[in-house]
């Protein structure tokens, strides 16, 4: 199986604090990879480096055999990497459909002049975006809520909407940060089923998650970070029985 993403000794330091320290991982195409670790382990910082939102201190990020370390967030999105955020970033006063449509902005040909004068290019793009937006809402189970404002959606629906918007760029690699945080059991199950379905459709997924039930049941492989370092990697059975992981979560001498 081909490697879709590779990090080579990636580091991110903040005034001497090693948030991410020489992290080297390989992500095989088509899998769901979980990233876990105690609070402050460096998980979200790693996501921010992978997506160009933070410049690395050292190391390289390789995507499909191409060095993307210095690319901007938009360029990284354009080559097929998309993400969601730990804190939901929706437009509360726009409808679910409008929120998804915004995700297509990198996929349209409409320019500033086209938008002002409502040119043929603008009208063609608007029609395509409307249609694709509805299809994406159906894909995540929100078609019947397309006209509801973002602020009026349930928490679980907001999470699904954020995933739908991330899918608008047609990613091959989807990074999701704490997608089930704060959810009840039913909402959590819906998100897990959605991510599993997207993976079956061919999208490689990397997930940061604190719910160990989600991680152990959803992921093919797990990477464990602690103090910015990789302390374990393997399938769920290996990781949950690794003494180094127990120690990181429970303290030295934990059984």
Q: 164, 223, 212, 211: which is closest to 183 by C-alpha?
A: 211
Residue keyed to tokens 């040909």: 109
Residue range 93-98: average pLDDT? Answer: 96
Is the pTM value of this prediction over 0.75? yes
- 184-221 tens-digit pLDDT: 999 999 999 999 999 999 999 999 999 999 999 999 99
- 21-53 tens-digit pLDDT: 999 999 999 999 999 999 999 999 999 999 999
What is the structure's pLDDT at 106? 72
DSSP 16-47: TEEEEEEEEEEEETT-EEEEE-STTSSHHHHH
Write down the CATH number for the domain with range 3-80+171-250.
Answer: 3.40.50.300
Torsion angle, CA of 105/109/111/113, rounded to 10 degrees?
-140
What is the structure's pLDDT at 24? 98
Domain ranges of the chain: 3-80+171-250, 91-155
Order the strands of the 66-67 sheet from edge to edge.
Answer: 17-28, 3-14, 58-63, 66-67
Buried b (16+ CB within 10 A) or exposed e, 6-25: bbbebbbeeeeeebbbebeb
Phi and psi at 61, nearest 5°, equal: -120, 125
CB atoms within 10 A of CB 97: 21
Contact 171, 82 (CB under 8 A): yes
For residue 70, what are the contacts with CB-CB under 8 A and spacing of at least 6? Answer: none
């Amino acid at each position: 199986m081909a490697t879709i993403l590779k990090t080579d000794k990636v580091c991110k330091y903040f005034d001497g604090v090693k948030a991410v320290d020489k992290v080297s991982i390989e992500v095989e195409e088509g899998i769901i990879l979980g990233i876990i670790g105690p609070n402050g382990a460096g998980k979200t910082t790693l996501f921010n480096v992978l997506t160009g939102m933070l410049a690395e201190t050292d190391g390289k990020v390789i995507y499909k055999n191409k060095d993307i370390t210095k690319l901007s967030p938009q360029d990284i999105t354009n080559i097929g990497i998309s993400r969601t955020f730990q804190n939901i970033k929706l437009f509360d006063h726009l409808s679910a459909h409008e929120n998804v449509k915004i995700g297509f902005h990198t996929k349209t040909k409409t320019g500033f002049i086209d938008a002002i004068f409502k040119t043929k290019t603008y009208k063609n793009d608007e029609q395509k975006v409307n249609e694709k937006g509805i299809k994406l809402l159906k894909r995540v189970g929100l078609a019947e809520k397309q006209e509801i404002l973002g602020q009026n959606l349930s928490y679980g629906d907001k999470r699904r909407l954020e995933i739908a918007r991330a899918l608008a760029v047609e990613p091959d690699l989807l990074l999701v940060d704490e997608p089930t945080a704060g959810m009840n059991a039913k909402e959590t199950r819906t998100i897990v089923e959605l991510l599993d379905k997207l993976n079956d459709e061919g999208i490689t997924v990397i997930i940061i998650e604190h719910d160990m039930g989600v991680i152990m049941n959803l992921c093919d492989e797990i990477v464990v970070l602690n103090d910015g370092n990789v302390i374990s990697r393997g399938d769920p059975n290996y990781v949950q029985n690794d003494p180094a992981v127990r120690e990181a979560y429970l303290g030295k001498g934990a059984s």
